[in-house]
Homo-oligomer: A and B are copies of this chain.
Amino acid sequence: MTETLEIEEQFDWLKEVLRKEDMTTFRDVFLDWHLYEEAQFYLSLDENERQKIYHFLSPYEMANLFDVIEEEHEDVKEFLAEMRPSYAAEMLTEMYTDNAVDILNQLDKATVARFLSTMKSEKVEDIKELLHYEDKTAGSIMTTDYVAIVANQTVKSALTLLKKKALTAEIIYYIYVIREDETLVGVISLRDLIVSDDEMMIADIMNERVISVRVGDDQEDVAKMIRDYDFLAVPVIDYEDCLLGIITVDDIIDVIDDEAASDYSGLAGVDVEAVAETPLKASSKRLPWLITLLFLGMSTATLISHYEVMINEASILAVFISLITGTAGNAGTQSLAVAVRRLAISDDKDAGFVRLILNEVLTGVITGLVTGAVICVVIGLWKNNFVLGLVIGIAMLCAITVANLAGSLIPMLMEKLGFDPAVASGPFITTLSDLTSVLIYFNIASLFMSFFV
């Protein structure tokens, strides 16, 4: 994308304009940009420059820009603090309700209360409603800026109404049809609306099989639905079927991104979201996990030290410890990844619990048999000792089967217990399978000790 370079040059040029306090030129150029570019420009400024921007742009223009800044952006708090309170409050009023709430959720209670007291009252009510919803539920990502109409009107009157609401609604491409008590009864796309005759009644052309989510549904389930149905938005209803808000596809993309990153982080045992950190900060985040695993690994070492006498008698046994623990660890990681992914995309999380685990154990037996047979032959030929080969082969079969069991069972149990299954990270499974592998290996080896010494 060649625009990237050009944009950097434009940024530098516009900063010069800003410095010269040439408000007319600044507004001409800046407001012509796409909101995302406006936001990128704003984020590249220092506080002095930002102060100038607050003088040059209205709270409404600033609200549009803030609507596209990632709500997790660490400096948002600081930005709000440096604005005049009345300017910040007006900007929050002009923002889409869900985005304003995302920002308010990061401030302390006193600041939120101060902002709410200076904002327009109807917006305050919407915001207060959204502030209640639990994190990661449909309610927490929905917006109240939707278009709802009643069924008992013509296409023409609906279009007139739509024109009025078009500027404040977050998305106008689905129009929701409600009864007077706010019960959701239908939906009509703007596409259907504009191809329909002006005089037709909404009741006749609306789709009554409107697909909705409950306010308490998990955001992952909502993401799955929007993806499967190719929706641009989905309505959110309460437990009496009243329309509360809508969730738009752009927020769903963020959910999908976040969930993918969190599954991925789990598998690696590191938070991959914070990628641009100093080594010191990165170390401080990774160390707790590494040290925990180190102590778990110490138990493997302790276990091996119990068999030191055996190793003393047949040092050849020591040669293959890593091979067995490594292979079992690899198999366990594969099982874990499949189980976590399965839990993430499955509709019905209870069904197939036993079957998945059984399948994984069977897969473990099959891969273990093949891997065990291969290593039995290889070691038999290499060391000219087929008993040793057999010991390693059998140990590998057992270790892989157990690792597959652990890799599928542990995330399933996590899910059952209400934890995120991705927390059962790859390194944890690997270290756990090291322990069982060593136990299996030396116990099998001890049966054949007479052949090695």
Contact = CB atoms under 8 A, between A and B. Distances in A.
A191 interface: yes
A334 B267 contact: no
Interface in A329-363: 329-331, 333-334, 336-338, 341-342, 345, 347-348, 359-360, 362-363
A79 interface: no
A193 to B, nearest CB: 9
A389 interface: no
A84 interface: no
Given A325-B322, A341-B264, A438-B322, A287 B334 contact: no
Contacts of A128: none
Contacts of A209: 32-34
Copies in the complex: 2
Given A279-B362, A338-B270, A301 B319 contact: yes
A232 B249 contact: yes
Contact of A283 (B172, B253, B319, B366): B366
Nearest to A256: B256
For this complex, into which size category does the number of interface residues on chain A fall? 35 or more
Interface string A265-304: 1011110110111111011001101110110011011001
Given A319-B304, A322-B300, A359-B282, A250 B270 contact: no
A438 to B, nearest CB: 7
Interface string A361-375: 011011100110011
Q: Which secondary structure characterizes the binding site on chain A?
A: helix
B430 A330 contact: yes
10 contacts: A4-B348, A36-B229, A270-B337, A272-B338, A275-B341, A279-B362, A279-B366, A290-B331, A291-B374, A329-B427
4 A-B pairs with the lowest CB-CB distances in the bound complex, closest first: A268-B337, A260-B260, A318-B318, A279-B362
Given A1-B213, A290-B327, 9 more contacts: A1-B214, A34-B209, A36-B229, A275-B341, A278-B359, A283-B363, A286-B334, A289-B334, A326-B431
